[in-house]
C-alpha cells in the first residue's frame, strides 16, 4: 500500500473578492455578539457620547442596537463608514504609532456588515437641514429620518451570511452575559458616561453618569462610585485606593507612567480571577506584564492560590504602547515592559503596605473587612472618615515618602503614651533579630525563643494595672485583656473585641524588619562537589550569560559547559538539598520573562520568611499584659501586619453588635 500523500492540485494565485475578504476579517474581529457590542461602544465613546444605550434580542444574535448622543456622522460620510479600513481616527503611520482612541482600524463596521443586516442612523452637529440620515448596509440606500444628534447602529441576524459560525454560539443567556460584561468593562473606566442595557424589552443593567463629581480630585470619588455601582459596594469596602506616578517624566512634564484605581485587600481574594480589571490609556486589556506585576504585589500577603481583585488604570505615552497587535485590541505590547511592571507593582504594594488597623473604619471583621475608604493623595487606605488624611504618626513608610516626611525610624516622635511603649519594644529588637538570624542561618541550631520580658512594650514604670486602665479608644487594636490557650491575644477597642494570632503577628513584624535590614544583600551560596549539567535551550544559555550578576546575588553559579550545555556549580546554602537542575531551569525561566530585580527580591523574601518564622514568638508562650500591649503597638506600626508571611490573617475584629447577636441581646 502506497502511504505517500497525494499532491494537491495546482491552483493559480487569485485576488480574493471584497466580500470574502470582509468575512475573513469578521472571523477575526467578531467572535460572538459581545464582540459587536464592544466595537460599537468603542465608536460611541470615540464620538464623545455621554449616554450609551444597548438593546438586545436573543442575547444579541437577533438584534444588537447601540445608540449614543455623540458627535454623529455627516450624511456624506455614512457610506464611507462601511468601507473596509475607512476611519477618521488615523491618517498616517505617525497616528498609528500613538493611537489615542478606542477604535482605529476602520474594519469593524465593514466586517459586521458582511455577516449581518446592518443600518446606520446618524445626525451630526453640523447637519444644515436638521435631518438625520439612515443608511441601509445591504443596499446602500440613504434616506432621511428623525433623530436627535448622535448615532444609532442596528445589527440584525448576526452570522446569517456565515451560518456555520452561528452554530458555535452558546445559549441566549450565555451570550447576554458576555454582552453585559463587554459593557461593564467600558463602564468601569468611564464614570462620566451613562450606560444602559436592555434585553427583550427589559432593562437589565443601568449605570448613571457620575457627572456632578468630576471636578479635580473628585474624579476619584466618581471612580469609586462607578466601581461600587458596577462591582458592588463590597468591592470598594474591601479595597484600598491606589495612586502612583513614576519618577521619570515625558517631554511635556507628565509622569512617564501613572497608575491609579483600587486594589482589593487580601481577605477579599477569590478562587477565580474574575474580578481583575486592568486598563491602559482607557482600554481594557489582558496583558501578562500587568497581571504578573499585580500578582507580585500580593506575594507577601496572599494565602495559597487565591486570586486578588483589583481595578487598575495605567496612563502612559501612547507612543510607548502598541495597541495594534491583536484584532480584538485586547492585547498590547509595551516598549519598556520593565518600566510598566515596576510602576504597577510599586503602586499596588504601596497601597497594600499600610496596616488597616490604623484606620478608624478599616478593620478585619468576622466575615471580611468593611468600611475602608481611600485617600487619593496618598494612594493608601484612608485613616478615619472619608477625605480625612492620616495622622503623621500612623503613616507607613510609603506614605511618608509620598509626603516628603522622610523614613520612619525607631524612636520617631509618636505622640503621648504610644511612643513610650514603642520605644521600649524597639530597643529590644536588635537582640531578638540577631537571634532570629543566627537560628535561621544554621538549620541545626535550635529555634530561637524570646527570653522573658523581651516582648514588653510598656515603659518599665508602667505596670499591668496602668495598661489595663487605658481607655480602649487610645489604640486602633485596643488594650490587651488576656491570652487564650497560649495562642491568641484578646484585646478591647472602641468597636468591641480584637483577637490576635500572636505568632502570625510577630512573624510579620520580624519579617518586615529583616527585609529592611537585608536590602540588596547577597544570598549565601554553597559550591557543588560535582557540577550538575543539563542540556539547555538557546534561550536558557543566553539568559545565563546575560544574568551572571543576578544569578550570583541569588546564590547561583551557572556557567556554560559546552555550546549546548549549562553547568550548575553553586546553589543557595538553604537549598543545598534541592534539585539543582530544576532550580536552575526555574530561575532562568523567571529571569527570561521578568526583571532580574523582581526575581532577586522574591528569592530573598522567601528566605527571610523562613528566618522570620523561626524568629517569631512560639505558641504556648505566656505573655504579660505589657508584652501583649507591646506586640499590639508594633502591629499598628508595621507594614502589611494584617497578614502573616504566608498570607493568613493576623487579627480579627468582632463588634459589640455581633456579640449582642450571639447572646440575642435586644431581641
Q: What is the spatial distance between Cα 120 and Cα 117, in angstroms, rounded to a whole number?
A: 11
Note the pLDDT of residue 385. 29
Nearest to residue 340, comparing CAs of 293, 295, 282? 293
Using the structure block, give the residue that is written with the C-alpha cell 443601568. Answer: 206
pLDDT of res. 403:
37
| Per-residue cell: 595 | 526583571
β-pairing verdict for 496-501 and 488-493: antiparallel
Low-confidence ranges of the chain (pLDDT < 70): 1-8, 22-28, 90-91, 95, 98, 103-106, 128-131, 211-219, 357-474, 514, 517-523, 574-575, 594-619
Helix (H) or strand (E) holding 379: none
What is the predicted pLDDT for the residue at 506?
86
DSSP H or E segment with residue 39: helix 33-46
Residue 80 grid cell:
464611507
End-to-end CA distance of the chain: 89
What pLDDT score was predicted for residue 194? 95
Whole-number pLDDT of residue 557: 92
Q: Say whether domain 212-381 belongs to CATH 3.30.230.10.
A: yes
* Nine cell digits for residue 356: 488597616
10 Å Cβ neighbour count for 179? 26
Show me where the domains of the chain are located: 18-209, 212-381, 409-517+620-662, 525-608
Element (H, E) at 460: none
CATH architecture of the region 18-209 = 2-Layer Sandwich (3.30)
DSSP string, 104-150: -SS-HHHHHHHHSEEEEEEE-TT-SS--EEEEETTT--EEEE---SE
The Cα angle at residue 221 between residues 40 and 231, in degrees rounded to 5: 55
**Rounded Cα gap, residues 185 and 183, in angstroms:** 5
pLDDT at 606: 66
Count of positions (residues) in the chain: 667
Stated as kind and residue range, the H or E segment containing 448 is none
Superfamily for the 525-608 domain: MutL, C-terminal domain, regulatory subdomain (3.30.1370.100)
pTM: 0.68
- Strands in 165-286 per DSSP E: 194-199, 202-207, 239-245, 257-264, 276-280, 283-284
Q: How far apart are CA 628 and CA 34, in angstroms?
A: 56
Q: Does domain 409-517+620-662 have CATH number 3.40.390.10?
A: no
d(CA 426, CA 419): 10
pLDDT tens, residue by residue, 452-495: 333 333 333 333 444 444 455 568 888 888 888 888 989 998 88
Q: In which residue are the cell numbers 448622543 written?
A: 69
CA-CA distances (angstroms) from residue 295 to 115, 341, 402, 496? 40, 11, 23, 34
Task: Give the three-state DSSP class for 568.
Answer: strand
Question: Please, what is the Cα angle at 90 between 87 and 96, to 5 degrees?
Answer: 130
**What kind and span of H or E run contains 427?**
helix 416-427
Amino acid at each position: 500500500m502506497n502511504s505517500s500523500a497525494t499532491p494537491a492540485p495546482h491552483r493559480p494565485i487569485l485576488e480574493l473578492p471584497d466580500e470574502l475578504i470582509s468575512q475573513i476579517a469578521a472571523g477575526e474581529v467578531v467572535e460572538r455578539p459581545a464582540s459587536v457590542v464592544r466595537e460599537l461602544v468603542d465608536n460611541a465613546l470615540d464620538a464623545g457620547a455621554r449616554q450609551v444605550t444597548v438593546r438586545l434580542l436573543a442575547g444579541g444574535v437577533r438584534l444588537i442596537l447601540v445608540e449614543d448622543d455623540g458627535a454623529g456622522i455627516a450624511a456624506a460620510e455614512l457610506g464611507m463608514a462601511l468601507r473596509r479600513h475607512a476611519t477618521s481616527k488615523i491618517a498616517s503611520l505617525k497616528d498609528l504609532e500613538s493611537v489615542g482612541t478606542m477604535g482605529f482600524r476602520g474594519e469593524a463596521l465593514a466586517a459586521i456588515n458582511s455577516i449581518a443586516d446592518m443600518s446606520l442612523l446618524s445626525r451630526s452637529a453640523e447637519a444644515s437641514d436638521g435631518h438625520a440620515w439612515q443608511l441601509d448596509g445591504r443596499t446602500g440606500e440613504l434616506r432621511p429620518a428623525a433623530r436627535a444628534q448622535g448615532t444609532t447602529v442596528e445589527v440584525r441576524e448576526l452570522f446569517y451570511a456565515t451560518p456555520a459560525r452561528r452554530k458555535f454560539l452558546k445559549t441566549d443567556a450565555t451570550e447576554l452575559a458576555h454582552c453585559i460584561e463587554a459593557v461593564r468593562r467600558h463602564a468601569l473606566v468611564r464614570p462620566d458616561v451613562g450606560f444602559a442595557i436592555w434585553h427583550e424589552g427589559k432593562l437589565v443593567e443601568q449605570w448613571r453618569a457620575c457627572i456632578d463629581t468630576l471636578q479635580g480630585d473628585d474624579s476619584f470619588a466618581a471612580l469609586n462610585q462607578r466601581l461600587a455601582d458596577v462591582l458592588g459596594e463590597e468591592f470598594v469596602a474591601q479595597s484600598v485606593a491606589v495612586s502612583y506616578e513614576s519618577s521619570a517624566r515625558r517631554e511635556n512634564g507628565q509622569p512617564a507612567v501613572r497608575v491609579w484605581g483600587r486594589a482589593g485587600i487580601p481577605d477579599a481574594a477569590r478562587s477565580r480571577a474574575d474580578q481583575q480589571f486592568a486598563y491602559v490609556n482607557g482600554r481594557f486589556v489582558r496583558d501578562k506584564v500587568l497581571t504578573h506585576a499585580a500578582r507580585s504585589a500580593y506575594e507577601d500577603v496572599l494565602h495559597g492560590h487565591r486570586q486578588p481583585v483589583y481595578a487598575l488604570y495605567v496612563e502612559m505615552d501612547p507612543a510607548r504602547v502598541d495597541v495594534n497587535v491583536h484584532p480584538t485590541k485586547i492585547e498590547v505590547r509595551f516598549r519598556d515592559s520593565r518600566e510598566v511592571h515596576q510602576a504597577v507593582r510599586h503602586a499596588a504594594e504601596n497601597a497594600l503596605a499600610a496596616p488597616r488597623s490604623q484606620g478608624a473604619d478599616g478593620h478585619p471583621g468576622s466575615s471580611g473587612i468593611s468600611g475602608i475608604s481611600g485617600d487619593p493623595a496618598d494612594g493608601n487606605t484612608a485613616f478615619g472618615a472619608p477625605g480625612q488624611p492620616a495622622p503623621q504618626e500612623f503613616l507607613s513608610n510609603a506614605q511618608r515618602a509620598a509626603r516628603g516626611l522622610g523614613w520612619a525610624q525607631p524612636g520617631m516622635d509618636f505622640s503621648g503614651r504610644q511612643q513610650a511603649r514603642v520605644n521600649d519594644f524597639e530597643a529590644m529588637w536588635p537582640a531578638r533579630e540577631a537571634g532570629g538570624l543566627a537560628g535561621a542561618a544554621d538549620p541545626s541550631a535550635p529555634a530561637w525563643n524570646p527570653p522573658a520580658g523581651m516582648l514588653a512594650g510598656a515603659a518599665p514604670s508602667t505596670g499591668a494595672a496602668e495598661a489595663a486602665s487605658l481607655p480602649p479608644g487610645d489604640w486602633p487594636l485596643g488594650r490587651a485583656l488576656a491570652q487564650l490557650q497560649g495562642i491568641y491575644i484578646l484585646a478591647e477597642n472602641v468597636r468591641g473585641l480584637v483577637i490576635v494570632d500572636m505568632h502570625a503577628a510577630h512573624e510579620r513584624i520580624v519579617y518586615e524588619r529583616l527585609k529592611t535590614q537585608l536590602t540588596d544583600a547577597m544570598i549565601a551560596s554553597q559550591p557543588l562537589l560535582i557540577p550538575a549539567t543539563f542540556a539547555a535551550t538557546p534561550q536558557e544559555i543566553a539568559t545565563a550569560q546575560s544574568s551572571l550578576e543576578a544569578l550570583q546575588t541569588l546564590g547561583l553559579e551557572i556557567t556554560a559547559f559546552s555550546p549546548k550545555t549549562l553547568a550548575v556549580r553553586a546553589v543557595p546554602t538553604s537549598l543545598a538539598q534541592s534539585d539543582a537542575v530544576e532550580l536552575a531551569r526555574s530561575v532562568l525561566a523567571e529571569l527570561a520573562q521578568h526583571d532580574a530585580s523582581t526575581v532577586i527580591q522574591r528569592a530573598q523574601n522567601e528566605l527571610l520568611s523562613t528566618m522570620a518564622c523561626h524568629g517569631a514568638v512560639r505558641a504556648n508562650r505566656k505573655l504579660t499584659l505589657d508584652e501583649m500591649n507591646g506586640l499590639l503597638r508594633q502591629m499598628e506600626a508595621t507594614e502589611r501586619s494584617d497578614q502573616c508571611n504566608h498570607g493568613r490573617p493576623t487579627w480579627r475584629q468582632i463588634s459589640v453588635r455581633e456579640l449582642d447577636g450571639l447572646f440575642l441581646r435586644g431581641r
